Amino acid sequence: MKTFTIFKTTGENELFQSISLDQCRPISSTNTDPLTVTVRLDDRQTYQEMDGFGASFTDASAYLMHQKLTEEQRTEAMTRLFHPTEGIGLSVIRNPMGASDYARTVYSYNDLPDDLTDPELAKFSIAHDEADIIPLTQQALELNPELKLFASPWSAPGWMKTSGSMMTGELKPEWYSVYAHYFVKYIQSYAAHGLPIYAITPQNEALYEPTHYPSMLMPAEAQADFILHHLKPAFVRNNVFTKILCYDHNWDRPDYPLTVLEKAGEAVDGVAWHWYGGDASAQSTVYEAFAGKEVHFTEGSGGEWIPPFEQAFSNVIRTGIQILRNYSKSMILWNMALDEHNGPTVPGFGRSTCRGIVQINQQTGELIYTLDYYALAHFSAVIRPRAVQIQSVSSDTSVYSVAFRNTDGSTALVLFNDGQEARPIQIELQGQELLCVNMESKCAISIIIRND
């Protein structure tokens, strides 16, 4: 006998609610509603294995969660974020290596006065992270032992760059080997705190060079050279088994990872993607050109540029399904927490419009779970680490679907009705009719199907 656990979200007042089976129609061969959409599952056709879902402990996020919440609030928030059964089971974190745009100050792990250099990295230190970021990451790992850690720098230390600053500029070729060792020391330092780094990228958004927060231009040819001749050899020399993902930027430039994989493919384990331009199909384009390379979605932020709740929630769910259907092993949103002003941000950043997974009001101390929390819940609470994607085909393109087979044998299905009217959704598994769910317009439903 099959049993079903079903969750749905239809609006701001119905956030990831469990629904009972009396809200579903029994399957019948006489069901002839012309609006019925059929979603067919087939677990004989499989795709990628999932690592999980998550967000980032930026300096801003870690500061808010570690210093601005009470201990009781922090325990609640961390449990609801990371615990596999008492929360939504987030299992991936991507931390910035040094300051990002969401940091209280601009910093690297090897800051020096002007005109000084440190080729031996004698002054390297992750002391900044030991205050807030590391304790929270350790707590997340305790709550979810299947957690995987990713890391990405927004800039090399300024003294290694053509600009002499963490803002703008490129990495000077004479510092390539030293910067490679910078990664090694970071990974080793985190390991000393019991935090293994699963994967890194050489540079966040390597084609974007803003002047108001840390950034570093790294053309594809330069990234391929850095990975192949410096970073990977440094990992091998130091017995570092952390994976190397290239690119870490938007879907609109698949030529960049294609170039890096062509020139340095043997040293590259996969590609990291963001959603701020282009289409998720770019993930498949590159994956199919270089089969066997991992696909990861490492950053996507929601924000005030999509103001109504329904549109913003729909965007995360719709895009999330597309990310997974294009071979991604992860889906990582951006800040784990931001305050009532969508900050803190680096000095001079200006007005922030991004949204955190939770909001922490610095004036009142209120803790709010945002729409991104509930959108992630639709995926992470039912699709568990090491689940394998199986084929799901919808008879109507306005109904999005993605399905996985979990390691416990259960099937996880996420559905989104992007149409303008309510639809009955009939679900079949390898030709066997299972149930029919009534879905309102812009409604998300997640289903766990178990064999009992």
**pLDDT at residue 1 in the model:** 67
Final residue before a domain boundary, out of 382, 412, 436: 382
Q: What is the mean pLDDT of the chain?
A: 94
Q: Is the pLDDT of residue 52 over 70?
A: yes
Q: Is the pLDDT of residue 21 over 60?
A: no
Q: Is the pLDDT of residue 18 over 70?
A: no
Confidence of residue 31 (pLDDT cuts 50, 70, 90): low
Rounded to whole angstroms, the Cα distance separating 60 from 373 reads 18
The answer to whether residues 240 and 357 belong to one domain is yes
Backbone angles phi, psi at 193, to 5 degrees: -95, 15
The answer to whether residues 210 and 306 belong to one domain is yes
Rounded to whole angstroms, the Cα distance separating 106 from 101 reads 9
Q: Is the pLDDT of residue 452 over 90?
A: no
The answer to whether residues 186 and 301 belong to one domain is yes
| Structural contact between residues 257 and 269, judged by C-beta atoms closer than 8 angstroms | no
The answer to whether residues 446 and 301 belong to one domain is no
Q: What is the pLDDT of residues 361-400, one digit of tens each?
A: 999 999 999 999 999 999 999 999 999 999 999 999 999 9
Give the residue with greater pLDDT, 16 vs 296. Answer: 296
Residue 210 has which token pair? 């803003």
Q: Is the pLDDT of residue 11 over 90?
A: no
Secondary structure, 3-state, the chain: CEEEEEEEECECCECCEEECHHHEECCCCCCCCCCCEEEEEEEEEEEEECCEEEEECCHHHHHHHHHHCCHHHHHHHHHHHHCCCCCCCCCEEEEECCCCCCCCCCCCCCCCCCCCCCCCCCCCCCHHHHHCHHHHHHHHHHHCCCCEEEEECCCCCHHHECCCCCCCCEECHHHHHHHHHHHHHHHHHHHHCCCCEEEECCCCCCCCCCCCCCCCECCHHHHHHHHHHHHHHHHHHCCCCCEEEEEEEECCCCHHHHHHHHHHHHHCCEEEEECCCCCCHHHHHHHHHCCCCEEEEEECCCECCCCCHHHHHHHHHHHHHHHHHCCCCEEEEEECEECCCCCCCCCCCCCCCECCCEEECCCCCCEEECHHHHHHHHHHCCCCCCCEEEEEEECCCCEEEEEEECCCCCEEEEEEECCCCCEEEEEEECCEEEEEEEECCCEEEEEEEEEC
Q: What is the CATH number of the domain that holds 167?
A: 3.20.20.80
- Residue numbers of the domain that contains 167: 51-382
The answer to whether residues 394 and 305 belong to one domain is no
| Structural contact between residues 178 and 156, judged by C-beta atoms closer than 8 angstroms | no
The answer to whether residues 394 and 304 belong to one domain is no
Q: Is the pLDDT of residue 83 over 60?
A: yes
Final residue before a domain boundary, out of 348, 382, 416: 382
The answer to whether residues 434 and 321 belong to one domain is no
The answer to whether residues 74 and 192 belong to one domain is yes
Residue 62 has which token pair? 């870690």
Q: What percent of the chain has pLDDT above 90?
A: 87
Residue 395 has which token pair? 């008879």
Q: What is the pLDDT of residues 121-173, one digit of tens each?
A: 999 999 999 999 999 999 999 999 999 999 999 999 999 999 999 999 999 99
**pLDDT at residue 13 in the model:** 64
Rounded to whole angstroms, the Cα distance separating 92 from 341 reads 26
The answer to whether residues 335 and 408 belong to one domain is no
Q: Is the pLDDT of residue 27 over 50?
A: no
**Average confidence (pLDDT) over 15-39:** 64
Q: Is the pLDDT of residue 257 over 80?
A: yes
Backbone angles phi, psi at 124, to 5 degrees: -60, 135
Q: What is the pLDDT of residues 309-356, one digit of tens each?
A: 778 999 999 999 999 999 999 999 999 999 999 999 999 998 999 999
Domain count, the chain: 2
Rounded to whole angstroms, the Cα distance separating 422 from 92 reads 34
Task: List Cβ neighbours of 228 (8 Å cut-off, separation of 6 or more).
Answer: 263, 264, 266, 267
The answer to whether residues 207 and 242 belong to one domain is yes
**pLDDT at residue 29 in the model:** 44
Q: What is the CATH number of the domain that holds 438?
A: 2.60.40.1180
The answer to whether residues 79 and 186 belong to one domain is yes
**Average confidence (pLDDT) over 65-82:** 98
* pTM, rounded to two decimals: 0.96
Q: Give the range with max mean pLDDT: 11-20, 234-243, 428-437.
A: 234-243
Final residue before a domain boundary, out of 382, 404, 429: 382
**pLDDT at residue 30 in the model:** 46
**pLDDT at residue 149 in the model:** 98
The answer to whether residues 129 and 177 belong to one domain is yes
Rounded to whole angstroms, the Cα distance separating 94 from 336 reads 10
